[in-house]
Structure 1
């Protein structure tokens, strides 16, 4: 949930660089969680 809040905060701040960073972090962490599920 913290990752989603960071994305929304970047949107609210109209900060595209922060939004990109937050979204990339979220996608990477999501990928890592999914890969663990398949081990």
Structure 2
């Protein structure tokens, strides 16, 4: 889609940068942005 329709997201990590130790390729991740919940 060409637009962001919500304030949450989820996906699978495809690549990590040098020095990243908490995540690896293939990890499932999700987030929610609480600050925009009442907009």
Larger helix fraction of residues: 1
TM-score (norm 1): 0.24
Q: Which structure has the greater CA radius of gyration?
A: 2
TM-score by length of structure 2 reads 0.24
Q: Which of 1 and 2 has higher RCO (CA within 8 Å, sep 6+)?
A: 2
